[in-house]
Chains A and B, each alone.
Chain A
Amino acid sequence: MTANDATFKWPDEGLTRIPYSVYQDADVYAAEQARIYRGPVWNFLCLTCELPNPGDYRVTQVGETPVIVTRDNDHGLNAFVNRCAHRGALLCLDQCGNTDAITCVYHAWRYTLKGELASVSFHRGVNRKGGMPNSFDKSKHGLETLRVTEFCGLIFGTFDPETPDIEDYLGPEIATRIKRVLKRPQTLLGENTQILDNNWKLYFENVKDSYHASLLHLFFTTFRINRLGQKGGVVVDESGGHHASYSIMDKNLDNSSYTDQNIRSADDGVQLTDPSMLDSVDEIGDGVTLQILTVFPGLVVQQIQNAIAVRQVVPTGVEKTLLNWRYIGFADDDADMTERRLKQANLVGPAGYVSLEDGAVGGFVQRGIAGSSDAVGVVEMGGDGFESQDFRATETSVRGMWRRYRDLMGF
């Protein structure tokens, strides 16, 4: 089997079974690069606020393919493969910067910020010897470009001309839920990367899995920051690939006193000695305290109280994934709001009180299934479909991911 004709016999039970080989097989992984990352999907590239000025660039990845995002002199956004059209050398070596042109270090071929080939060194040779043939047409040797779109301060790219417009791609419910979090001009409070020793799908599934949250992440229950009066649910888009899970405070309760009472209550057992970490405000005004949203195949938009972040899921090998975190503030945040976001960011990220376990659990699965490529995982919680549900003890959005995955992969 090769990447191009990778086929897969899915178990007869359908979406409620996941064959473990899908996390282990090098041919499946190679096929994903072509059918998913270069297929009809929008890949998250970086934030608009990272490229405020003409000449700004940022290096990113679409699947394994290295990509550069630039802001050109017309203030337009561009994305192209970070690969010289001459011999394939990596062009931008720094993660980000500002430049008026992109020049390959190998033979000094030079490209505009839009990815056009501007000049070839020794084009006419040296002392009239050598040089390119007259037939060489610079306009045919630009960089491989991606179509770019911008949505709520998020920059996406796609290789496939058939990919629908971003709002159609997301569907109305997911688009609305991104808009409610990422409204104003953004600032980057910081970024980091978590290296995960597992297949990318194990992480993406984990984010969609609302079933595990209160079972694996014991911080809130241990500190008795219970969430009485909270309702929640899971929204899955029509394709199955995107989801949003949320919890919402009951409007009948006064949120501030609610939080106050539960943290400082005289319960036996452990309490936070500095509860200021959880001093949150309902900045959006809709009572939603938590919203975890995914955009297939590799973006997570997270709002946990006032901790707002995006996570980019980047595969770098069958059993290796990079999780790039960007922590977001807004241009109109005052000092108190920034401090609040920074404190609440303790909840998330590689050391997050309610997220650090997610960095390990994919590896636990990857190690657990070693030698068991014929075995399958079981996802029956909440039924066998991938419809939206108004409860969270469900794996509906996990099944949705596999629906979308199988449609793209032809499995």
Chain B
Amino acid sequence: MSSAHDLLEQRLTANELQANYAACIDEDRLEQWPDFFVDDCTYRITHVRDFQAGRPMGVIYATSKAMLRDRITSLRQANIYEKQRYRHVVSPTRIISQESGTLKTTTSFLLIRIMETGDTTIFMSGVYHDVLIPQDDGWAFKEKIVVADSAAINTLLAIPV
């Protein structure tokens, strides 16, 4: 059984990790983005209809931190897309369960995309379904399933969510 103090610390840890994660993307520090994950992580962007039907596809589907690094290398050096930024607005993180040191959490997000032209739209809303595990230097995501509320994506998805 955890003490009240432990629970409070877990909540703070989970919320801080999520806040730092969103800031990393929004501030275009994408080279640091994979470091929020453990080496043998899962990262997947899906939507609620596929997720509820148990369909395994991801718009992005990664099974290692190395695949996340490759995604950023490609974005920076290979892929062609119009300059754009994200602004994440995230809810407080809910702890769904905890066992043997790992935390399962969910966090709602609203993702606004800002184009170079100034066009500003709600690009995505949804829920992060996360599994967090402690590392030597803090916590990291073992799993992050991004479940978008809509199956539709305007134009393209370049920057990770």
- Interface positions of A (Cβ within 8 A of B): 95, 188-197, 216, 218-219, 221-223, 270, 272-274, 276-277, 322, 327, 338-339, 342-343, 345-346, 349-351, 353, 356-357, 359-360, 363
Contact = CB atoms under 8 A, between A and B. Distances in A.
Interface of B: 45-47, 49-50, 55-64, 66-67, 69-71, 73-74, 77-82, 151-158
A117 B151 CA distance: 33
Nearest to A309: B57
B78 A223 contact: yes
Contacts of A322: 152
B158 A356 contact: yes
B81 A356 contact: yes
Nearest to A346: B61
A327 B59 contact: no
A345 B57 CA distance: 8
23 contacts: A190-B58, A192-B57, A192-B59, A192-B152, A194-B152, A194-B153, A194-B154, A195-B152, A216-B80, A219-B78, A221-B78, A222-B78, A223-B74, A270-B77, A270-B78, A274-B69, A343-B63, A345-B58, A346-B60, A350-B156, A351-B153, A360-B80, A363-B155
A350 B77 CA distance: 18
B40 to A, nearest CB: 11
A192 B155 contact: no
Judged by DSSP, the binding face of A is mixed
A196 B155 CA distance: 5
Contacts of A223: 74, 78
B161 to A, nearest CB: 10
Given A194-B156, A222-B74, 14 more contacts: A95-B49, A190-B57, A194-B153, A197-B155, A216-B80, A221-B78, A222-B77, A270-B73, A273-B70, A276-B64, A353-B74, A353-B79, A356-B156, A357-B80
Nearest to B82: A360
Contacts of A193: 151-153
Contacts of A190: 46, 50, 55-58
A112 to B, nearest CB: 27
Contacts of B71: 346
B45 A351 contact: yes
Nearest to A273: B66
B75 to A, nearest CB: 9
Nearest to A364: B82
Given A350-B59, A359-B155, A272 B80 contact: no
A327 B57 contact: yes
Nearest to A193: B152
Contact of A195 (B60, B80, B154): B154
A277 B155 contact: no
A280 to B, nearest CB: 15
A180 to B, nearest CB: 23
B70 A272 contact: yes
B54 to A, nearest CB: 10
Contacts of A191: 49-50, 55, 57, 151
Contacts of A342: 56-58, 61
B79 A357 contact: yes
Contacts of A357: 79-81, 156
Contacts of B80: 216, 218, 357, 360
Contact of A356 (B45, B64, B66, B157): B157
B58 to A, nearest CB: 7
A350 B153 contact: yes
B57 A360 contact: no
A353 B78 contact: yes
A351 B70 contact: no
Nearest to A356: B156
Contact of A188 (B45, B55, B58, B157): B55
A206 to B, nearest CB: 13
Nearest to A351: B157
A29 to B, nearest CB: 20
B63 A350 contact: no
A192 B79 contact: no
Nearest to B62: A346
Nearest to A277: B67
A194 B123 CA distance: 12
Contacts of B50: 190-192
A273 B67 CA distance: 7
Nearest to B148: A192
Contacts of A197: 154-155
A101 to B, nearest CB: 24
Contacts of A189: 55-57
Contacts of B73: 270, 273
Leading 4 A-B pairs by shortest Cβ distance? A190-B57, A274-B66, A359-B156, A222-B78
A274 B70 contact: yes
Contacts of A346: 60-62, 67, 71
Nearest to B160: A351
B26 to A, nearest CB: 18
- Which of A190, A327, A339 has the most chain B CB atoms inside 10 A of its CB? A190
